[in-house]
Amino acid sequence: MSSLDERTTESAAPPTRKGRTWISYLAMVVLPVVAAFFLLRTGGGDGHAPTGHTGGAADPVAKLLFALPVIFLACRLLSAVAKRLAQPTVIGEIFAGILLGPSFLGWVWPAAYHWIFPDFLASTINTFAQIGLVIFMFLVGYELDVELVRRRSKAAVLVSHVSVAIPFLSGVVLAFVLHPTLGAGVARLPFALFLAISMSITAFPVLARIITDRKMTKLPIAALALSCAAVDDITAWCLLALVVAIASATSMAATLVTVGLTIAFFAFMLFIVRPLLRRLFAPTEQGQKALPTTAVVSVLLAGLLLSALATNAIGIHPIFGAFLFGAVTPRGSLPIRQATEQMHALTVTLLLPLFFVYTGLRTKFDLIGSDPTLWLWCLLIVAVAMLGKWGGSLIAARLSGIGRRDAWSLGALMNCRGLTELAVLNIGLDLKVISPTMFAMLVVMTLVTTVATSPALSLIERYKRRGLPAEPLPAA
């Protein structure tokens, strides 16, 4: 019999057969399942709740499954708003974290805030946030173009080091002024060193995103800004590792041991791990199959996590190990590029929003409150941060022979802090070298300096369009 005949015969079957099938299904499948669920729900009539039920209010998995969509939607919504305002999307995500924290949601709707983010959920969010931050810092280290720094070594090294040295000095001076009021309970040395580092940071990934969004990638000033930010980040992270070692150690001998182990780890990564990675991911001969992307992802994840574990054991933050592992990972390999793209998608979409929210949960602007003195201190911090970083970069650029308007643009770009600064601030709060009040003030500084970058570039660009001749950059 043909298939058409079979379908015709089936369609002509008496309807009573189908009716009996449905009745049998209801009686022998649906009803037993409903009865079993009822018995389990009532605890078999003994008055006890089913074993393993913890209740929605105390179940971290259930709470996290509800909180995650709220976090993702808030980050995507405010990222879209930031993009419409010609700001990098990370600005929207930072604001989303703050708006979901106690400074806004906890103030406007306390019941909803405590229901979505109960106290026991903070440790879970922090765990995922730290993993996301470690992977992100690996990607930052990998995206640093060392060749770009070498091609523009003269101007890049001068501008970047001046843009660290002047803010560092201004941060130390500011710390001596702030310590009696805002540094209570913290030794002056780690407080001053940490504040100096926070004044010196430039957010390389956010700066790169701003340059891309504004279609500046082919401009010479953009290449110089990226190379300066690369040198700046390497210098600042090395200094921060030293500060963390000093703050974490209990004695001068312990400090020296931590610093010595850190130097040994750097040497191990540069002279042993980097050659091994180059040999492992070397271009294959024609006809030889390359490593699959999944295997490369596994190797990179294992390497960066072990590197983070090593620096954590040494006594400095895990992100240093991940950052250095990214810096020594070889470039130019297609499997590595595909693997890092997959890691970037996972980190930016899933894990980094949790870092922003965790930072928002720790940021309490009500600690500043309505006290005009504290807001004046906050204004002073913002002013010192902008003058030191922007002014130092501007002066160094002019001394390097860079034109006036390009020097102003370079200063505006180097003043951008963004996510990198938030990572640094969280380290300081964990080490207790800054108070929650000081943390809130420095978050305000981070927001102001990052948000100001795009408008400042637009004003400088408008000035350029007045028909004034552009001044060329100096030779590399």
pLDDT tens figures, 396-449 = 999 888 888 889 999 999 999 988 899 999 999 998 999 999 999 999 999 999
Degrees (nearest 5) of the Cα angle 278, 282, 284? 170
Question: What is the dihedral sign for C-alpha 149, 153, 157, 158?
Answer: negative
Mean pLDDT of the chain: 83
| 230 vs 391, more confident | 391
DSSP reduced 3-state for 32: helix
- With a pLDDT cut of 90, the percent of the chain lying above it is 46
Concatenate the DSSP letters of all residues of 422-443 into one string.
Answer: HHHHHHHHHHTSS-HHHHHHHH
CA 162/CA 198 separation, integer angstroms: 15
Residue 445 CB neighbours (<10 A):
23
Contact assessment for residue 232 and residue 414, using Cβ atoms and an 8 Å cutoff: yes
Average pLDDT over residues 263-281: 93
> 160-204: per-residue pLDDT in tens?
888 889 999 999 999 999 999 998 788 898 899 999 999 998 888
Average pLDDT over residues 271-294: 79
Average pLDDT over residues 294-312: 94
> 72-130: per-residue pLDDT in tens?
999 999 999 998 988 888 889 999 999 999 999 999 999 999 999 998 899 999 999 99
Average pLDDT over residues 382-396: 94
Degrees (nearest 5) of the Cα angle 406, 407, 413? 90
**pLDDT at 16 (0 to 100):** 57
**pLDDT at 33 (0 to 100):** 65
- Please determine, for residue 347, whether its predicted confidence score (pLDDT) is greater than 80: yes
Which amino acid does the sequence have at 96? A
CA 328/CA 141 separation, integer angstroms: 8
| 230 vs 472, more confident | 230
Which amino acid does the sequence have at 148? L
**pLDDT at 157 (0 to 100):** 76
Report in angstroms the alpha-carbon separations of 266 from 64, 270, 326, 372, 375: 37, 6, 12, 46, 41
What pTM was estimated for this model as a whole?
0.80
Concatenate the DSSP letters of all residues of 102-156 into one string.
Answer: TTTHHHH-HHHHHHHS-GGGHHHHHHHHHHHHHHHHHHHHHH--HHHHHHTHHHH
pLDDT range class, residue 267, cuts 50, 70, 90: very high
- Please determine, for residue 210, whether its predicted confidence score (pLDDT) is greater than 70: yes
Least confident stretch, 11-15, 16-20, 413-417: 11-15
pLDDT range class, residue 21, cuts 50, 70, 90: low
